[in-house]
A = this chain, B = another copy of it.
């Protein structure tokens, strides 16, 4: 098994990223891996925003994980900048391999380097394995996460 590389995602990674988003109990109901059109439009928006960092984990030339890190300035907490982690996915073949931890460590290290004072994320209440995973990495489940679909 080769070394893991974590690097900025490129537009050519979209098929692999979307396949991972769709290969998930929740994602299967809401993604369209056979039609990348909406993802290409979203890619343009992500690419134009310097506060967005979509990364992939690659081993032996194969994309096996992804997450999105967003840097968000703010006034509260004495003008703290925070980082938000979204869309964490690990390829089915690689779950339990420690890759998720490596990706989150990358996100935390990058947030620190970019001057953030806090990293935050929300996880669907049905993802209890994920909750244990984030707790092990030092995250505290101090907040209720509310969503409103438009």
- Could you tell me which A residues sit within 8 Å of B by CB distance? 14, 17-18, 21, 27, 30-32, 38-43, 45-46, 49, 51-52, 54, 68, 70, 72-82, 84, 86-87, 108, 111-112, 116-125, 131, 134-135, 137-150
**Which residue of chain B has the shortest Cβ distance to A66 in the bound complex?**
B75
* Selected contact of A138 from candidates B31, B87, B148, CB within 8 Å: B148
Residues of B with C-beta under 8 A to A73: 42, 45-46, 49, 52
CA distance A140 to B42 in the complex (A): 25
Residues of B with C-beta under 8 A to A46: 73-75
Main secondary structure of the interface of A (DSSP, over half): mixed
Assess the B117–A150 pair: CB atoms within 8 A.
yes
A32 smallest CB distance to B (angstroms): 6
Assess the B148–A120 pair: CB atoms within 8 A.
yes
Assess the A119–B148 pair: CB atoms within 8 A.
yes
Assess the A27–B76 pair: CB atoms within 8 A.
yes
Assess the A32–B78 pair: CB atoms within 8 A.
yes
Assess the A146–B120 pair: CB atoms within 8 A.
yes
CA distance A82 to B79 in the complex (A): 23
Given known A72-B86, A74-B87, contact A118–B150 (CB-CB < 8 A): yes
Sample of 17 more A-B contacts, CB < 8 Å, known A30-B77, A111-B150, A142-B146: A30-B78, A39-B75, A41-B79, A43-B79, A70-B70, A112-B150, A120-B146, A122-B122, A122-B143, A122-B144, A123-B144, A124-B142, A131-B144, A131-B146, A139-B146, A139-B148, A145-B145
